[in-house]
Chains A and B, each alone.
Chain A
Amino acid sequence: MTLRVQDLKVHYQTLRGDVHALDGVSFDLADGEIMGLAGESGCGKTTLGKSLIRLDGRMRHVDGTIELDGRDVPVADDRAMNPFRYHEISLIPQYAMSALNPTRRIGRMINELLRARGVRPATVAEELNRRLELVGLDPDVLQRFPIELSGGMKQRVVMVMATLLNPSLLIADEATSALDVSTQRSVVESMVEFRDRGYVKSMIFVTHDISLVYQMADTVMVMYAGRIAEKAPASTIINDPRHPYTKMLIGALPEVGTTTEDTRLEGIPGTPPGLLRPPTGCRFKDRCPLASEECSETPPLVEIDPGHWAACWKTGR
């Protein structure tokens, strides 16, 4: 078991009180598993990705434990997290463009990063060139400034950079959202290849695009309003979703080939609840067509089939 997150609660501190961005999230991530993390904006998926590596100033760890390869990850302690960062847990940020220093050549920036983490650049130089070749980049890019590269190239440079020390866990936060479809596909395939070659042990791929995670991920976890709605193997989520939210979310995706003449798709009425004062009970109950009295109690996340977890009273039994 690579990663075990139990009852993680992370709040944002604001002047008007705490925003319960993550409210009791528990899941396991197996060795070699690519987990897609999907959900609407504001559901806490980016917060979950960030809290596994670095809590920024506004974020407060309230409760819960994180275990990576049997070792406890001290997320609340910024200093104690340092040995984990980059060596064990690594992050591909959302916009590769803003992750690269515009005033440094790529090669120099990578060297600085390695030295900051206590690694001598010469020891990994050969590996770096090999991996650049692997993702289809000429080692020549090390001599270039970020502005000379296209978006897809920058994204690949960041990916190679993030996985250079073979981290156990890679968090990719909307890593391909800024790319167009054909570049997106080649970047995503390189990511899967990195997993296959064992450069990263497991991966959490945060995205709002369910069809994209279906194409690359082994499992998909759908979050809603700071909680997990459903987690299942990718094909199960698409073909046999059990949580009403997942069902409606997938129902709202137009497929290539769907036109308004055939079917008219429906969105999900209403908006997600604010997390400053989250509602009690099931958080989806106000938008849920199946909601009934029992939904005023919080449904537990239960395993309804092997590997298929859902938090809904209507599916849980």
Chain B
Amino acid sequence: MLELSHVHKVYRVGAFGGARLRAVRDVSLTVEPGKVVSLIGESGSGKSTIGKMVLGLTGVSAGSIVFDGQDVSRIRGFSARKEYYRRVQGVFQDPFSSFNPIFKADRVFAMIRSSYFPGMSDADWKQRVLDVIGTVRLDPDNVLNKYPHQLSGGQLQRLLIARALLLDIRLLVADEIISMLDASTRIDVLNLLVDLKERGLGILFVTHDLSLGNYVSDRSVILRKGAIAEMGPTRRVFENPCTPTAATCSRAFPRCTAPGPRWTRSWPRIRPRTWICPPSPRATTPHRWSRSRRTTSSASTRADPGAGPHRVSTGPAPATSTGSDEYRAVPEQ
């Protein structure tokens, strides 16, 4: 359904846009209907940028994003774009800033109606709204006709998902949707995503939280510095991480049932110096983002011993020789 092939994103950074920052490098992945794909990575690994590119909020520097045979970056014009958003919607991290505090929260529904369903009768529309609110397991009496500050973060986040469901969406981009929610409501939103998945929705789930990614997703993509470090069926990636990035992520994550002793001073120190930016981008020492020139030659890809769709890159960027076809051709396990 959604297919990213060899996508790159280069941002212009610095005071006058003189420097280049390669946020995403050579990412290829697919999202099928009824599947959840997790993008997992540290801050700055490019996971949100991928979400933004899929939603068309930012351009693609190289490569292509194809949704149902249509190249997303080539959609031009207001009406074509609107048609795209009828099928693809996003929900973002901070539910409080997604709403306008001056208006009631359900205004987001009215805005969908005025732009997408102008001909629908009041009764039909009301029924439709009640349906989606039921789908996200909210009580209409508790959430309709309220201002955003009267609702909890979990309720607002579910309202935003309900808003997306009013359209006949086929792909939902969920960008860190639960990181601002409490532990007790988080799991309800996650369970909702699982319900939606079972109804055939494809979900691109962006997160930095391993256990949450693991809980919902069918496939996991672990990103490091904008490139795919490891990708495969979630269970295999977590039980048998093949790259240092995935293993580090997995070990650094706090958990309640850690098999070994609790944290002691075992974690490798980040050495001084390497962390500090050089005083100016034109200094002789290489800037920490300026790796792009070296990566393509040093990158190497090796197959997972178990073969199959679990793909691993040992370099900072995967080799371009392995196309996306390789891991789609092998049946899922």
Chain A interface residues toward B at CB < 8 A: 40-41, 133, 136-138, 140-141, 144, 148-153, 179-186, 188-189, 192-193, 208-212, 214-216, 238, 248-250, 252-260, 264-268, 271
- With a cutoff of 8 Å between Cβ atoms, the chain A residues found around residue B254 in the complex are 181, 184-185, 209, 211-212, 214-215
Q: Please report the C-alpha to C-alpha distance between residue A188 and residue B263 in the assembled complex, in whole angstroms.
A: 9
B211 touching A255 by the CB < 8 A rule? yes
Q: Please report the C-alpha to C-alpha distance between residue A183 and residue B253 in the assembled complex, in whole angstroms.
A: 10
- With a cutoff of 8 Å between Cβ atoms, the chain A residues found around residue B267 in the complex are 182, 185-186, 189
A214 touching B153 by the CB < 8 A rule? no
B153 touching A258 by the CB < 8 A rule? no
Offer 27 A-B interface pairs, CB within 8 angstroms, sorted by A.
A136-B269, A138-B272, A138-B276, A149-B276, A151-B43, A182-B42, A182-B248, A182-B249, A182-B252, A185-B254, A186-B269, A186-B270, A189-B265, A189-B267, A211-B256, A214-B255, A215-B258, A215-B263, A252-B183, A253-B211, A253-B256, A255-B256, A256-B253, A257-B211, A258-B211, A264-B194, A271-B152
Q: Please report the C-alpha to C-alpha distance between residue A208 and residue B270 in the assembled complex, in whole angstroms.
A: 26
Given A40-B183, A181-B42, check contact A254 B252 (CB 8 Å): no
Q: Please report the C-alpha to C-alpha distance between residue A141 and residue B273 in the assembled complex, in whole angstroms.
A: 10
A252 touching B186 by the CB < 8 A rule? yes
Question: Nearest 10 pairs between A and B by C-beta?
Answer: A138-B272, A268-B184, A254-B215, A180-B42, A267-B188, A211-B254, A182-B252, A212-B254, A40-B182, A267-B187
B214 touching A257 by the CB < 8 A rule? yes
- Cβ-neighbour of B187 out of A211, A254, A271 (below 8 A): A254
Q: Please report the C-alpha to C-alpha distance between residue A174 and residue B38 in the assembled complex, in whole angstroms.
A: 26
Given A151-B43, A254-B190, check contact A41 B214 (CB 8 Å): no
Centre residue among B239, B265, B276 by max chain A CB count within 10 A: B276
Instruction: Name the interface size band of chain B.
Output: 35 or more
B234 within 8 A of A: yes
Instruction: Please give me the residue from chain B that is nearest to A270 by CB atom.
Output: B184
Given A41-B153, A182-B248, check contact A136 B276 (CB 8 Å): no
A184 touching B252 by the CB < 8 A rule? yes
- With a cutoff of 8 Å between Cβ atoms, the chain A residues found around residue B235 in the complex are 259
B109 within 8 A of A: no
Centre residue among B42, B43, B210 by max chain A CB count within 10 A: B43
- With a cutoff of 8 Å between Cβ atoms, the chain A residues found around residue B211 in the complex are 253-258
CB distance from B220 to the nearest CB of A (A): 11
- Cβ-neighbour of B273 out of A138, A255, A264, A271 (below 8 A): A138
- Cβ-neighbour of B257 out of A188, A209, A255 (below 8 A): A255
CB distance from A136 to the nearest CB of B (A): 4
B216 within 8 A of A: yes
CB distance from A249 to the nearest CB of B (A): 6
- With a cutoff of 8 Å between Cβ atoms, the chain B residues found around residue A265 in the complex are 187, 190-191, 215
- With a cutoff of 8 Å between Cβ atoms, the chain B residues found around residue A267 in the complex are 184-188, 191
CB distance from B149 to the nearest CB of A (A): 12
A181 touching B249 by the CB < 8 A rule? yes
Q: Please report the C-alpha to C-alpha distance between residue A268 and residue B154 in the assembled complex, in whole angstroms.
A: 12
With A265-B191, A267-B186 given, name 11 new contacts (CB 8 A): A40-B183, A136-B272, A144-B276, A186-B268, A193-B265, A215-B262, A254-B212, A255-B255, A257-B211, A259-B235, A260-B194
B111 within 8 A of A: no
Instruction: Please give me the residue from chain B that is nearest to A248 by CB atom.
Output: B184
- Cβ-neighbour of A181 out of B152, B210, B239 (below 8 A): B210
Centre residue among B43, B184, B264 by max chain A CB count within 10 A: B184
Q: Please report the C-alpha to C-alpha distance between residue A267 and residue B271 in the assembled complex, in whole angstroms.
A: 41
- Cβ-neighbour of B255 out of A136, A138, A211, A268 (below 8 A): A211
- With a cutoff of 8 Å between Cβ atoms, the chain B residues found around residue A193 in the complex are 265
- With a cutoff of 8 Å between Cβ atoms, the chain A residues found around residue B187 in the complex are 252-254, 265-267
B256 touching A192 by the CB < 8 A rule? no
A208 touching B182 by the CB < 8 A rule? yes
Contact with A along B101-145 (1 / 0, CB 8 A): 000000000000000000000000000000000000000000000
Q: Please report the C-alpha to C-alpha distance between residue A260 and residue B211 in the assembled complex, in whole angstroms.
A: 12
Q: Please report the C-alpha to C-alpha distance between residue A265 and residue B256 in the assembled complex, in whole angstroms.
A: 15
